[in-house]
Structure 1
């Protein structure tokens, strides 16, 4: 088993993702209660932006702290760049 891979940003990312999770549950509730499509789409965009920001933070943190120590780093950097 490998050691946990935890960065200083992970607790804040967990908080951000839990908030997005709650927001997404709210969006599902909006669908279930028949709220307008415009309202739902607006809230879905907010959830999407929150998750995108969390992903970007995770990737930038990984680039800053984990790359530069091995031969496969350039390939990994290319793969990560596709996710941004």
Structure 2
């Protein structure tokens, strides 16, 4: 399945990823500066949440595309059970 994000969805995912990138850069700097452990962990948690949200947005887009494909009958010969198993694996990869 190809990643098909457009317009607002694409901007939202890219913004989340850029935010996470900035937070990770901040974490590296904080560690290099010997900052407080609690501050570092708080920043790491924020970066993790940003990455999770981007991943979930991508999966939601994939689910939407699959539903549209299933309804229109354009499946490239893939059985619905195989699609379900593949999507379940994607969800579990973020769990």
Q: Structure 1 CA distance, aligned partners of 2:64 and 2:93?
A: 16
Residue aligning to 1:35: 35
2:91 maps to 1:81:
yes
Give ranges in structure 1 of 5+ residues lacking alignment: none
Q: TM-score, normalised by structure 1?
A: 0.82
CA-to-partner distance for each residue in 1:2-40, whole Å, 9 max, x for gaps?
xx7432222321121012101110110000000000110
Q: 71-80 vs 52-61, which deviates more?
A: 71-80
Residue aligning to 1:17: 17
Give ranges in structure 2 of 5+ residues lacking alignment: none
Q: TM-score, normalised by structure 2?
A: 0.74
Over aligned residue pairs, what C-alpha RMSD do you find?
1.8
Greater helix share, 1 or 2? 2
Q: Structure 2 CA distance, aligned partners of 1:77 and 1:16?
A: 22
Cα distance change on mapping 1:5 and 1:49 into 2, 3 Å:
closer
Shift of 1:44: 0.4
TM alignment of 1:56-67, pairs within 5 A: 56-67=56-67
